[in-house]
Chains A and B, each alone.
Chain A
Amino acid sequence: MTSMGGQRRLGRRLILLIGAIYFAFPFVAMARFAFQNVQVFDLGRSTLFENWSLTSVTSAFGEDYFWDALRLSIQLALGTALLTLFVLVPTAVWVHLRIPRARAVVEFLTVLPYVIPAIALVAGIVVIKPHARWFLNSDLSLIPFYAVLALPFTYRSIDAGLRAIDLRTLTEASRSLGAGWNVTLRRVLIPSLKSALISSTFLTVAVVLGEYTIADVLLKRTLPAFMAEYRQSDPRGGYALAVLSLLATTLLFAGIGVATRPRGGRNPRTDEPSPSTEETPS
């Protein structure tokens, strides 16, 4: 019996170890390539610690295009996050309070972007383009489409936040104390939904910073598009930017983890899985 249990434990360890190697190695390889200026065939014990530097990043930062792309991506991220909050929070609150029966339907609508992936969506945008040039010629016209791509994650995180609070009691208490809907939203709902709103915003930013498909087809120069283009002339610089973007994304997810961590078991219902650990299409 003991030997079988031991074998099983060994098997588990082995699986975890193989997993760790598979997930760590590609990242290490990319980081090495980005930050160490040594050809692969020169690598050896003597050169392993040579020529590490951040010059690849600094030279990428030296490009004017980089700053343009960064500015555009930041504008898109902020715009998408704001649009998401303005459309989704009232909708989700409304559905929870007034038409709980419609919850499943709304939820179904919010996962439709899984069915119509970015490459198909952008095909549709290309069709519409001649009829809406006044709108689609602007770089910022990506905002609503990015909000759509982020919809499955953002709605779910706001929905989870609403499930975790006693919405009806809170609003009724606020209303009976004389607050209007505006005050209720600003002083009661938003504070109690803070962590859901933060995680929805971070998810949006992560989606916008990673989105490449639509930007590439529509020739918009966002940060990922710059990264792809810059790699053609300076591979190490492009890879270095990818390392930075991965770190940024990881930080955003860590932030979501902190924001949605259940606090001291005060409310057992907040123990639902945090929205960050849900599936997304790539």
Chain B
Amino acid sequence: MALIDLSHSSPGDEGATASAVAPSLRRKGQTLRDYAGLLPFLTFLLLFLLVPAYSVFDQALKNPDGSFGTDAFREAISGQNFQAFKFSITFSAGAAFVGVIAGTLLAHAASTVEKPRWIKNLVTSFSGVAANMGGLPLAFMFLSLLGRQGILTKILEYFGFDLYAGDFGLGEVSGLIIVYSYFNIPLMVLVTLPAIEGLRPAWREACVNLGGTGFTYWRRIGIPVLLPSLLGGFLLLFANSFSAYATAQQLTDNSKIVPLRIGFFLGGDVSIGEDAVGYGLAAWMIIVMAASMGAYWLLRRRSERWLG
């Protein structure tokens, strides 16, 4: 479709002829036509992303009789649903925190290791793959490692440590943090590596010359410069963990995980008025995602100012 748009524009549109006749008028028509070139893309986005997203809010803000009402929308963040949001936000924040710390340490170690040189390339390439590793394989890996019959569970048992004695579970906060770190840490490596590489050796030298120690350097220079990208990374990892469905669904049927809860409502085994609560949950999820991604966007712009 867009190909046709391209071929319609006649040669010589730019420059020369424009200045001759009524430039402003000419430019206005041209700008309009330029923006019309985006129509196929905008239509695609509208039909397959924005209309579905709008429908979620539309359904969430509806009474059973079809009139406007906020009952389902409020129901989606009270009682059990509130507990679900609390649980999801807790483990997502925990997973993001672990990911930020471990990812930054790993990125720093990889960027400063002198030899062998291939280590850094290996870490970046691997991170590119592992950061995209959600879904079923990830769940299967940890089920075979730390599930009730998992190999590490059994090894620990052999040494007299019962992993499942307490409230550990792959679907509980601790388990989800361990599993989600598998894609969060590499994602953090990718986010933070450019910032770490942007730390100039001269800053460190200046700090040492002025009598600062390694600790002073990190306390006064390193961490403050990295802070926007650390916070940004936290938000990105949080959003990433908060919205993951596939892995969690295979690990557990814990209905306190918001995406699983939405899936349950969408499954259709609920009475008529109740399905609106599912859409309410989805609407709130979009709100949470929009807030964290928006803040991430702002922080990234800030960190680019320092480390352009």
Q: Which residues of A contact B (CB under 8 A)?
A: 11-13, 15-16, 19, 22-23, 25-27, 29-30, 32-33, 40-41, 43, 86-88, 90-91, 93-95, 98-99, 102, 106, 109, 111-128, 144-145, 147-148, 175, 180-182, 185, 206, 210-213, 216-217, 224, 227-228, 231, 238-239, 242-243, 245-246, 249-250, 253, 257, 273, 276-282
- Report the minimal beta-carbon distance from B26 to chain A, rounded to whole angstroms: 15
Instruction: Encode B129-142 as 1/0 by CB contact (under 8 A) with A.
Output: 11111111110111
- Report the minimal beta-carbon distance from A118 to chain B, rounded to whole angstroms: 6
Chain A interface helix/strand/loop/mixed:
helix
Segment of B67-75, B161-169, B218-226, B239-247 engaged in the interface with chain A: B239-247
Given contacts A211-B135, A282-B138, 15 further A-B contacts (CB under 8 A): A13-B109, A13-B113, A23-B126, A23-B130, A26-B182, A88-B41, A94-B6, A119-B282, A120-B282, A128-B55, A210-B132, A242-B141, A277-B125, A278-B190, A282-B183
Do A124 and B132 touch across chains, with their CB atoms under 8 A apart? no
Given contacts A29-B144, A41-B154, A115-B293, contact A144 B137 (CB under 8 A): no
Given contacts A125-B52, A216-B249, A277-B128, contact A87 B44 (CB under 8 A): yes
Do B151 and A212 touch across chains, with their CB atoms under 8 A apart? no
B3 within 8 A of A: yes
Q: Which of A99, A210, A278 contacts B135 (CB 8 A)?
A: A210
Residue of A nearest to B262 (CB): A119
Q: Which residues of B contact A (CB under 8 A)?
A: 1-3, 5-7, 9, 11, 31, 34-35, 37-38, 40-42, 44-45, 47-56, 58-59, 102, 105-106, 108-110, 112-113, 119, 123-138, 140-142, 144-145, 149-152, 154, 181-183, 185, 187, 190-191, 194, 236, 239-240, 243-247, 249-250, 259, 262-263, 266-267, 278-279, 282-283, 285-286, 289-290, 293
A148–B106 alpha-carbon span in the complex (Å): 32
